Amino acid sequence: MEAGPKLDPEREQAILGATLDLLAECGYEALRLDAVASRAKASKATLYRHWPGKAELVVDAISCYEQADLTDEVNTGSLRGDVLATLTAMRDLMSGEMGQLIAGLVAPLQKDPELARAVQTSMLEDKQQVTRRILDRAIARGEVPADTDPAIFPEVAPGIMFMRIFLNAEPVDDAFLVHLTDDILIPLMARSR
């Protein structure tokens, strides 16, 4: 995503940290690059050399500071174990401070095509690849049919967890994750198309 020469890691962390701080303070729509530059003690030119716009900067800031890296390889040896491990990481992310920032992007995503495109490209596609690898291993082990729909997990799991955490304000404890895995996700994935 960077357009210019590699940014010094310390400078990059200052800019991304300032972005998150300001995002938490004023929200996405009111976030201005000159305010980020000022807070990070950087020039606006530095920001524009490395990020084409506000959307890409915000996505990079959130991606770099995720408390749980959902793009890490999960391989427990079983589909159930992989699903539970992935759901646990999702819960930890969504229930924490970063989850609040991500939730704050929901309305702007509907209004800002540039932000929606950046989120889709930078954050969602990587996580879909992880899901695909989990499913491929489960197919190879004979746990699910070869024609299992790879979209089931990324379409169903985040939606259920988002509703439960942000709209219903209900806990997502280990018992709920087991229910989501055993009673909803695996039965859906085990069906042939």
Give 171-183 pLDDT, tens digit per residue.
Answer: 899 999 999 999 9
pTM of the model: 0.76
pLDDT value of residue 103? 80
The span from the CA of 11 to the CA of 17, in Å, is 10
* Closest of 121, 136, 133, 186 to residue 157, by C-alpha: 186
Q: Are 118 and 109 in contact (CB under 8 A)?
A: no
Q: Can you give the residue range of the structural domain that contains 185?
A: 79-190
Q: Give me the DSSP letters along 84-153.
A: HHHHHHHHHHHHSHHHHHHHTTHHHHHH-HHHHHHHIIIIIHHHHHHHHHHHHHHHHTTSS-TT--TTHH
Within-domain flag for 122: yes
Residues 173 and 115 in one domain: yes
Domains in the chain: how many in total?
A: 2
Residues 161 and 114 in one domain: yes
pLDDT value of residue 104? 83
CATH number at residue 52: 1.10.10.60
Q: Of the residues 64, 88, 106, which one is the last residue of a structural domain? A: 64
**Tens digit of each residue's pLDDT, the chain (193 residues):** 444 567 888 999 999 999 999 988 888 989 999 999 999 999 999 999 999 889 999 988 887 765 445 555 678 999 999 999 999 988 988 888 878 787 888 888 888 888 888 777 766 666 778 888 999 999 999 999 999 988 889 889 988 999 999 889 898 999 999 999 999 999 999 886 6
